[in-house]
Structure 1
């Protein structure tokens, strides 16, 4: 007996953990560098210290609630790394500003708490609630991503606690006594850069309707641009396994399947990229990966799992296998080359179910669907789950001749059953096992269709009767397997696509081509989309009832913070504006919009609403200090410029390394583009929008 390694989960786990650790240290470095450059090294240390402390709190809560580390958990922490420093930067920046105005450290930290804690908490809760549909959706995708809501929520709330409690405390202990500006608050924001920005803002507010129309136009263009962006449900996996599905005609003996599979195995073992080759004859492998489903036992089916070193060698081996199959590696079998995918299991990326009562009619309709899919250049391979019809032997009895020899139909059937399939006669004990002894005709006779007519039956009087005297053999084409769904006969036409394409885009194109077939379907027949599109639909359907609750909670939090219906509506309207930066970024870098990009868009919505809440709070504070509404808007935006730019720069730089991740790459691109666009929205569009919303008129001279 020998033991061979088939798959090594520890390698994949180590890779995922190492990816997180790299992003963790990059995020720390980025935060420290940004703060070093803008506010000094001590501020950088204070802000950077918030990251490990927040993660420590998250780990304690995870341990207390039995949350384990998995890909989604680690990804959620990576997402949180780009967000949890924002609160700390906002709090410490406010504290530094007040110290530069002449406040002592204690008073400055108290001011930072009183003016930023509430809007930051509201923004944190709004961002967390945005992930609520993922946490409570009852679907396969919901099961896969539910931890995202809990981990991101725990991380963001922990980061808020750290930002308003621990960061000010560290600031009091570590920040140096700042030298107050000679002119006080006004002099701080009277530099050349601030003066240019102030003039820009005054021009923006003066032309508020033009600015609003421009942003609305850009938003409409972004929505239209989403039609051009490639769509995706879940990305393919970066795991190194290559999967081969070997399907011989239904009814093929397991010996023939083994012979064909052995031939393919021998070829694979000669390839440098293949490190471990394991074949499963008559069934699929054990479920060693979440997004897999067990295969039904089938003597004509085999699955081969090939372990490679990395993603690059996996792709190289896949191309070599496909070329070898095209060159005739196993012409007697249908060989499918695929890989593992993230997310809910779907056997094929593109599939259609043809359903109806009559199998023959189903075959005709499925054949038309298959022809359309095969003719499409978007498809790589196409097949059906019923397979091709196979010839079967039927023996038609002549009842008159049966009666003449004294046999009944059942008696003749029993004797044929004995000759062809066999009947247990006795059993023989072998050690501790009992082995049945089966009596039947010799293999060279019963397995040869030409010799079946020469079988001899025994009549009622013991006479020997040639089978050809009581009937004749018929060869008929039959379906080897009939599948049903909801008790209705169902043929699934499915196929693979090129890795450069996305299943939703291909499905949309194929569905348009199938419309003439759908329009001409007989009564009682229908065609349904299956594959990854169906799984995506299930996920959307499961989350749909949760969106009204999410929106209601979001509005409730905002209204508690701003205490104004008008302000609440304005804050909520800023949520989708991140799309203006997201769509060009995805198009520029040829990235699809999938569930991870959607997660990034949700996070962006929370960031934009938080910035809006803080800006509105600053405007109200300025008005209470005696500024006119116009100058309150201008000065509030000037005062918020530095923390907004710092948090944006930290987030963008922290997410750049994540763009190389197979699973989280689209999320990183979404956050980078959305944060860039959102920063412009915060500093340029929000002042104009506030002026429109509250009917603020421009002024030439300060109030």
Structure 2
């Protein structure tokens, strides 16, 4: 067989140029290797890639309104305005009695740089239409930092210390943590606002001829901060101050109250005045069975999470030494440890991959017949390929550093994918050199021949492979932005591997490859005349001669592949390998915070008894903050609690995850429990969801119940529920307007009096240093804790006398929607459920 003719020298040969400038080639190889591995240690490290949250939360409060009134008068008007915002995409909202919350999402195609301007537009447009909302609406309030990740969370606990004292310690700890490099912000969770409670017995007031309005007016008048003017003397301006404001609780107790007959009483004689906390409590945080204040730390953009973790460990050790005895700072979440583990796993996999690639290269390129044992391995071709791996990785790290791509789960995974591809070009170039040297070419001629023959085909193959990742690179979606590093890192590594193969591999080949002895007078000859190649050529020839059979077999195998693909369960993002298990417990809509807290404590205690559990963190009345970027966040509401169960290891995590659903169902039947793992990509609330949309809430509820019944009949679904939950109890006061008018009482006065009696009315603020503490007036506990107490309530009239509320109003018990969700301005009920173990949702 004749050798292929040597190509002409019509074009530029990069391999020959590299060999002709060997000192420069050596210099570049060493410098790029050193700079690349130096760049590796400069890359920012985080758990997830940088990701722009295109969602804003708009919250509005309208005290006293029903869920439907809020939906029609507040939520709908805000949604109508949000539809006019540039890039508006999805508008989800829920309305509860007295509360509206809208989650406004803009299109995935919006550029990250434009998102801040969109949020400014939202504020401006809603500010312009604010006057069309009902008069006593509070807000709207905006949260465009919805995507902030609190990768490190600490729990501050103090035995024997009050919430107020813990809050002071937490403020000091926060101030010190903010000084740590790369800390962007530190937020506190579980803080209970202080209140000064004035609890008055209405029966006692009626006996003394006083009413709530009198007490309110006198408290407000004395504690007000008003300008008393200034005295303009010929030389000075002297400020005039009026004393009387409360500076401690004793002064409040000693405040004189004028009775209807003119006699004076001390406030402490007719009411219990005490300092306490918000009631019912706001979100509470617990860790390992103890109430704590959480401190969530968010890293600055572009920071190194591992370096931040080291700096925080040093800072917290120093801070712990300054805290009083009994006050401890424990770590709840440690994202730096997770990232460090991921990087360590990558290095481990990288070493394994390099060993495998080297092994395959040594065998496939260097295995020859002959030698002492019948076969021998020439290690030199494999060594050339082995050197190219760290060289390509080093240059890839340099490119990642230049383009601002850090180390995270996506880029690390991309590097592992690229490892199997970046050696292809080097193997082709080395194999061509070895073959030509065996045919009698010298090293330089073999190297230049390899470039002429293989450079363009290799580049074409490299670009075709890179084009396979192009859909990820050009995807205008949340998923595309999240996974962009797969495209960027893989394509960069592949293109660089081609450059290394045509520039550095020929130089390495001339240094390391060994020319086998041969007859210098013999003409070049082909080597494909061995028995293996003869049999292989015979098979190829048969396929060509029977081309239609070959084509039919190819199409058949492809069709079988398509059919088989349909049998494979689909899931774009698998669950993460983090050790946390998320446990949610949901109560019926309208459940009190106290009932929630009581059950949550029992669940917490039971979870801590489970084998393999390292720690349990509990958020009562809310979901956890975003400690992990793709977390599906649960908003604050009194009927939910969420637990972070940290397993000691991944095998134990799986054991616990499989055991917990049965445990919750058997031991806590009063709640709807849910056990889930953290996702790897953008969150999906439930694997199976159906959205029922309509304009009439009553008909919508009926249709959703039909969907829910159909889903419950499917044996592959578990925990089927809907997001409208249950209706809530309500007492409506049907007022006899004729009697009310005769007594000079309005519906507004009745509502205000009822609120003061049962919830409390803020009558002023107690000022203590830089704190403002609300002073709240309400009835004593024995007159407001039972539903029947509303029938015994007293109401002040225009004449100053108090009359029983039942004299002019009739309490009627009823039901009303507790929460009403909407989707793009239509009422929408989402019916959802989990799937049985062994199946996976196409998420």
TM-score exceeds 0.5: yes
Partner of 1:18: 344
Deviation for aligned residue 1:32: 2.4
| SS of alignment partner, residue 2 of structure 1 | strand
In the alignment, the residues of structure 1 paired with residue 751 and residue 347 of structure 2 have an alpha-carbon distance, to the nearest angstrom, of 70
Deviates more, 1:87-96 or 1:494-503: 494-503
Partner of 2:362: 36
Q: Pick from 459, 477, 482: which aligns with 1:121?
A: 459
- The change in CA–CA distance for 1:37 and 1:233 in structure 2 (over 3 A counts) is closer
Deviation for aligned residue 1:183: 8.3
Partner of 1:380: 718
- The Cα RMSD (Å) is 2.1
Q: Pick from 442, 445, 452: which aligns with 1:107?
A: 445
Deviates more, 1:144-153 or 1:192-201: 192-201
- The change in CA–CA distance for 1:100 and 1:325 in structure 2 (over 3 A counts) is same
Partner of 1:4: 330
Deviation for aligned residue 1:466: 2.6
Partner of 2:665: 326
Deviation for aligned residue 1:62: 1.2
Partner of 1:267: 606
Deviation for aligned residue 1:22: 2.5
Partner of 1:483: 821
1:284 aligns with 2:623: yes
Partner of 1:234: 573
Cα deviations by residue, 1:518-569 (Å, 9 ceiling, x for unpaired): xxxxxxxxxxxxxx3xxxxxxxxxxxxxxxxxxxxxxxxxxxxxxxxxxxxx
Partner of 2:27: none
Partner of 2:408: 70
Cα deviations by residue, 1:388-418 (Å, 9 ceiling, x for unpaired): 1122111112233334544333333333233
1:256 aligns with 2:598: no
Deviates more, 1:237-246 or 1:456-465: 456-465
Alignment of structure 1 residues 610-649 onto 2, 5 Å: none
Deviation for aligned residue 1:309: 2.0
Partner of 2:499: 161
Could you say which structure has the larger radius of gyration? 2
Say if 1:239 and 1:310, in contact at 8 Å, map to a contact too. Answer: no
Deviation for aligned residue 1:242: 0.7
- The change in CA–CA distance for 1:180 and 1:284 in structure 2 (over 3 A counts) is farther
- The change in CA–CA distance for 1:416 and 1:21 in structure 2 (over 3 A counts) is closer
1:466 aligns with 2:804: yes
In the alignment, the residues of structure 2 paired with residue 426 and residue 201 of structure 1 have an alpha-carbon distance, to the nearest angstrom, of 93
Say if 1:425 and 1:439, in contact at 8 Å, map to a contact too. Answer: yes
Cα deviations by residue, 1:574-615 (Å, 9 ceiling, x for unpaired): xxxxxxxxxxxxxxxxxxxxxxxxxxxxxxxxxxxxxxxxxx
In the alignment, the residues of structure 2 paired with residue 403 and residue 343 of structure 1 have an alpha-carbon distance, to the nearest angstrom, of 62
- The change in CA–CA distance for 1:210 and 1:402 in structure 2 (over 3 A counts) is same
Cα deviations by residue, 1:368-394 (Å, 9 ceiling, x for unpaired): 111122221111212122211122111
In the alignment, the residues of structure 1 paired with residue 437 and residue 512 of structure 2 have an alpha-carbon distance, to the nearest angstrom, of 13
- The change in CA–CA distance for 1:175 and 1:285 in structure 2 (over 3 A counts) is same
In the alignment, the residues of structure 1 paired with residue 341 and residue 769 of structure 2 have an alpha-carbon distance, to the nearest angstrom, of 49
Partner of 1:176: 514
In the alignment, the residues of structure 2 paired with residue 45 and residue 102 of structure 1 have an alpha-carbon distance, to the nearest angstrom, of 22
In the alignment, the residues of structure 1 paired with residue 550 and residue 823 of structure 2 have an alpha-carbon distance, to the nearest angstrom, of 55
Q: Which runs of 5+ in 2 are unaligned?
A: 1-326, 367-377
Say if 2:439 and 2:526, in contact at 8 Å, map to a contact too. Answer: no
Partner of 1:85: 423
Say if 2:418 and 2:493, in contact at 8 Å, map to a contact too. Answer: yes
In the alignment, the residues of structure 1 paired with residue 774 and residue 536 of structure 2 have an alpha-carbon distance, to the nearest angstrom, of 92
Deviates more, 1:85-94 or 1:391-400: 391-400
Q: Pick from 462, 483, 492: which aligns with 1:145?
A: 483
In the alignment, the residues of structure 2 paired with residue 387 and residue 115 of structure 1 have an alpha-carbon distance, to the nearest angstrom, of 69
1:453 aligns with 2:791: yes
Partner of 1:407: 745
- The change in CA–CA distance for 1:192 and 1:279 in structure 2 (over 3 A counts) is same
- The change in CA–CA distance for 1:331 and 1:137 in structure 2 (over 3 A counts) is same
In the alignment, the residues of structure 1 paired with residue 475 and residue 526 of structure 2 have an alpha-carbon distance, to the nearest angstrom, of 53
Deviation for aligned residue 1:293: 4.2
| SS of alignment partner, residue 67 of structure 1 | coil
In the alignment, the residues of structure 1 paired with residue 341 and residue 522 of structure 2 have an alpha-carbon distance, to the nearest angstrom, of 55
Partner of 1:364: 702
More strand by share: 2
Cα deviations by residue, 1:652-676 (Å, 9 ceiling, x for unpaired): xxxxxxxxxxxxxxxxxxxxxxxxx
Say if 2:575 and 2:678, in contact at 8 Å, map to a contact too. Answer: yes
| SS of alignment partner, residue 483 of structure 2 | helix
1:204 aligns with 2:204: no
Deviation for aligned residue 1:54: 0.3
Deviation for aligned residue 1:83: 0.5
- The change in CA–CA distance for 1:5 and 1:257 in structure 2 (over 3 A counts) is same
Deviation for aligned residue 1:46: 0.7
In the alignment, the residues of structure 2 paired with residue 400 and residue 274 of structure 1 have an alpha-carbon distance, to the nearest angstrom, of 65
Say if 1:355 and 1:362, in contact at 8 Å, map to a contact too. Answer: yes
| SS of alignment partner, residue 227 of structure 1 | helix
Give the number of equivalent residue pairs.
504
Alignment of structure 1 residues 208-219 onto 2, 5 Å: 208-219=547-558
In the alignment, the residues of structure 2 paired with residue 484 and residue 301 of structure 1 have an alpha-carbon distance, to the nearest angstrom, of 20
Partner of 2:78: none
- The change in CA–CA distance for 1:406 and 1:61 in structure 2 (over 3 A counts) is closer
In the alignment, the residues of structure 2 paired with residue 457 and residue 213 of structure 1 have an alpha-carbon distance, to the nearest angstrom, of 91
In the alignment, the residues of structure 1 paired with residue 579 and residue 764 of structure 2 have an alpha-carbon distance, to the nearest angstrom, of 51
In the alignment, the residues of structure 2 paired with residue 206 and residue 287 of structure 1 have an alpha-carbon distance, to the nearest angstrom, of 64
